Amino acid sequence: MTERVVVTGAAGFIGSHACQVLLRAGWRVVGLDNFDPCYPRWLKELALRPLLASPAFRFVEADVRDRAALDGHLEGAAAVVHLAARAGVRESVGRGAAYRDINVGGTHAVLDACVRAGVRRLVYASSSSVYGLVAPPFTEAARLPSARSPYAASKQEGEDLCRRFAAVHRLRAAVLRFFSVYGPGQRPDQVLHRFARLAAEGSPLPLYGDGSSERDYTYVSDAAAAVAAALAWTEAGPAGAEPFNIGTGRGVRLDRLVGLLAESLGTRPTVLPQRAHPADAARTRADITRARRVLGWAPKVELELGITEFVRWYEVVYGYEALAAS
């Protein structure tokens, strides 16, 4: 009998792509999402469309803090992929209580439900933001500093919960530290999506700092493949919660990213220099040696192709939005 996995945040950016990969791998998938209003519901519904076409996928609109909903759907499941969270480093500043309630409270609720249902396999979505001002390349063995934002703090707490539950309740958990995931389905607040919208409007692009800041950009299909690889890893081995960096191992300057996006859009946007945000790290770059060796995972999509695919999606989706509004 085909095994069943519960994916939280299934209508979200990484979640919807991860569900597609898991369905192709032969899993039966129950997707949970509460359509958090941090961005338009119609974008999430659009992401769900290809999933709902599969007889192996079932969608449940529910909050991960809802005990009854979790218990009803984790019973008999082989594993949980916990991707549901309120995202955004800058957006979290000044909203610490809400981020802690959703991200830490939600993770605690999922772990409690795993214990009640006897689920021993977990994949947890963390973030590169947990590294703060650690000098790149970031390795999983690095001592994590004090968090620079409520979002980063919530992810550090989530990792701590995974470790504690794994030790006490014999869970095997993969903690995935995602690095700047981009691509089709990206949230409107994320850099490529936001810049594409501003460029389409003819508005200047806010360039934080002098453009020399660097990020390790990970294409969403590579992130989704990492979820599947991590889930396979949880099948056998000792209990514990192990972190894995999910990135490319290469830093890309912000001004280069803007140039590649402008080229793909066929525009020449103006930029508006802004002061760098204090919660942002100046540079991020993953050491992915461990993910390659232990999970057998490696990124495949180059940045230029990834941006082209994002722009293709963006033009189709916002054409759809215009039609829906007419």
pTM metric for this prediction:
0.96
Under 8 Å CB-to-CB from 168, ≥6 apart: which residues? none
Name the token pair of 12: 């979200």
CA 101 to chain centre: 18
Task: Give the pLDDT score at 135.
Answer: 93
How many angstroms separate the CA atoms of 83 and 207, rounded?
A: 29
How many angstroms separate the CA atoms of 235 and 229, rounded?
A: 10
How many angstroms separate the CA atoms of 15 and 223, rounded?
A: 10
Task: Give the pLDDT score at 321.
Answer: 52
- CATH number of the domain located at residue range(s) 4-179+219-247+286-301 in this protein: 3.40.50.720
End-to-end CA distance of the chain: 47
How many angstroms separate the CA atoms of 285 and 165, rounded?
A: 29
Under 8 Å CB-to-CB from 63, ≥6 apart: which residues? 34, 69, 106
Task: Give the pLDDT score at 322.
Answer: 47
- The three-class DSSP label of residue 7 is strand
Q: Which residues are catalytic?
A: 151
The pairing of strands 214-215 and 252-253 is antiparallel
How many angstroms separate the CA atoms of 80 and 257, rounded?
A: 34
Residue holding tokens 């539950």? 165
- Alpha-carbon distances of 244 from 60, 138, 156, 238, rounded to whole Å: 29, 11, 14, 16
Residue by residue, pLDDT tens for the chain (326 residues) are 489 999 999 999 999 999 999 999 999 999 999 999 888 999 999 999 999 999 999 999 999 999 999 999 999 999 999 999 999 998 999 999 999 999 999 999 999 999 999 999 999 999 999 999 999 999 999 999 999 999 999 999 999 999 999 999 999 999 999 999 999 999 999 999 999 999 888 899 988 888 889 999 999 999 999 999 999 999 999 999 999 999 999 999 999 999 999 999 998 888 898 888 888 888 999 999 999 999 999 999 999 999 999 999 999 998 755 444 43
How many angstroms separate the CA atoms of 82 and 257, rounded?
A: 30
Task: Give the pLDDT score at 325.
Answer: 47
